[in-house]
Amino acid sequence: MKTENEFNAFIGKEIRKLEPHGYLLLKVAEKYHIGVPDFFLWHNKSCAAIEAKFVREMPKRGGLVLKHAFDGRQVGFLRRVAATSNPAWGIIAIHEEKRIVALPYNQIPDSGNWNGTLPEDFRSYHYDQVADLAGYFFYGWDFAKRK
């Protein structure tokens, strides 16, 4: 994977594998609706909003983590989703580590970015654990343990 678009295609493909388990995914074409998250994911009467970001590697000496930060309109939309009692998340793929970091919407800084590194208390998943990530979005549990 070299780009955020490739990462989004990967996430979409992996989550669609969960449809037999009651998940339904919609990839949003943000071109026409600036601020709308990349994905909406439904499961058991809830709909999670997910905004995805991608970095090839973490910065070596400080510097900003994201080349394209979470935009204020994106974070604002996530807040509006959360106000409806539905989950709202940001995710960051760190490609060199094959890791996806899950960020509750209210833990994204006002700047939409971090300097140097991400806080260590964010939950993260390997690329082969997308099903666990999906379960965490809704319930805080790993999918593999709940089958």
pLDDT digits (tens, 9 = 90+) for 32-70: 677 899 999 999 999 999 999 999 999 988 899 999 999
Q: Could you count the other beta carbons within 10 Å of the beta carbon of residue 48?
A: 22
Give the per-residue pLDDT at 120.
87
Distance between CA atoms of residues 70 and 85, nearest Å: 21
Q: What's phi and psi for 24, nearest 5 deg?
A: -140, 130
Residue ranges for the chain with pLDDT beneath 50: 144-147
Q: Name the helix (H) or strand (E) containing 26.
A: strand 24-27
CATH among 3.30.70.120, 3.40.50.300, 3.40.50.9100, 3.40.1350.10 for 4-146: 3.40.1350.10
pTM: 0.91
Local structure of 41: helix, strand or coil: strand
